[in-house]
Structure 1
Amino acid sequence: MNLNPSFLETADKQFLYYKQLGDKAIAQLEPEQLFQSWNEDTNSIAVIVKHLWGNMLSRWTDVLTTDGEKTWRERDAEFINDLSTREEVLDKWEEGWHCLLSAIRSFTPDQLSNIIYIRNEGHTVMEAITRQLAHYPYHVGQIVYVAKMLKETSWDSLSIPRNGSTLYNGEKFAKPKMTKHFTDEELKREEPE
């Protein structure tokens, strides 16, 4: 089955967009805020990052030849915060995203229909990518939400600022229609914060 290579390009852009949202949210916080949680049933940003890291490494390391739930993964331990510095959090964040993006960029369109396994259940590569396009943004949304709650000074909007839709839309509709190959600025999402 020959699938359009634009799926891989689109997936890469979507993952990068959500990584950038997380980057920008995390950058607005003081180091100690990365470790705050409301109670024992909620996760700090550091724990969410650690979980994403563990999932990304497990799912995308040797993705075409080994099960996505690696025997070395300790998922339950991902929810125990043993990180203590901003640098450790950012190292995990970057390592996980690097693993994911390297795997996505290594695929060829004809591999999208290959069957891979996650917990012994078969998925096409395309299904596995799509599955994670739902999972990772879910957690990035948590990071953004928690960061906004913790931010003690004004929040720097990550998309269209509150009450800024009219201005934003006016600028967008003043330009000629575009069909493909958007710039970073044009990739801004229109979801309100």
Structure 2
Amino acid sequence: MQVMTELLVKKFEEIQGRTLSVIDQLTDDELNWRPNDSSNSISNLVIHIQGNVNERILRGIHHAEIVRNREEEFEAMKKTKNELLAITKDTYKTVIETIQSMQEETWRSTQLVRGKERTNLYILLQCAAHFSEHLGQMMYIAKMLKNFDYVSTSIPSKKAK
């Protein structure tokens, strides 16, 4: 499990760094911009990832009493860049610290997700894929807004760290 722990930590650190890089290069208005009423802003996506972590990790792995209102995550909202940077750092800190502290039996323990039993290992792999998909959406929004001024997230931002 040590190899899995190291791989997952590295993957979530990468997703976090790239997310922070996207957020860092946008204004508050750009972070809250939605192309239309049925689409998400970067703020929505950050809050949605936080909601997913609250449900799957805090409630699912740590058994915390969390009530999630998923629909609220997709409503129009106003968040500042600083709020989104802090939420992102806190969200990924929770994920990474959880992974680093997990014992072998926790990896194999299950939780119910949409009516199906899933191991915590499966959940964490799914989270990595899910968060990467939303990172792609964030990058696309940022590139649309910044055009040629967009800075690739594969080059770590010194400001975002």
1:77-122 CA distances to partner (integer Å, 9 max, x unpaired)? Answer: 0111333422222232223222222211211234322223334521
- Residue 79 of structure 2 corresponds to residue 74 of structure 1: no
Flag the 1:82–1:156 CA change in 2: closer, same or farther, 3 A.
closer
* 3-state SS of paired residue (1:61): helix
- Rg larger in structure: 1
Task: Report how many residues are paired.
Answer: 156
- Residue 90 of structure 2 corresponds to residue 95 of structure 1: yes
- TM-score, normalised to structure 2, is 0.85
CA distance in 2: counterparts of 1:19 and 1:139, whole angstroms? 12
**1:41 maps to what in 2?**
38
Indicate conservation of the 8 Å contact 1:65/1:116, yes or no.
no
1:32-76 CA distances to partner (integer Å, 9 max, x unpaired)? Answer: 110111111111111111111111112111433539xx7610000
- TM-score, normalised to structure 1, is 0.72
Indicate conservation of the 8 Å contact 2:60/2:111, yes or no.
yes
Which protein has greater RCO, CA pairs closer than 8 Å, 6+ apart? 2
CA distance in 1: counterparts of 2:24 and 2:144, whole angstroms? 14
Among 159, 166, 171, the residue aligned to 2:154: 159
Mapping of residues 1-193 of structure 1, within 5 Å: 4-64=1-61, 66=63, 72-151=67-146, 154-159=149-154
Between Structure 1 and Structure 2, which shows a larger proportion of helix residues? Answer: 2
- Comparing 149-158 with 46-55, greater Cα deviation is found at 149-158
Consecutive unaligned residues of structure 2, counting only runs of 5 or more, are 157-161
RMSD value over aligned CA atoms? 2.3
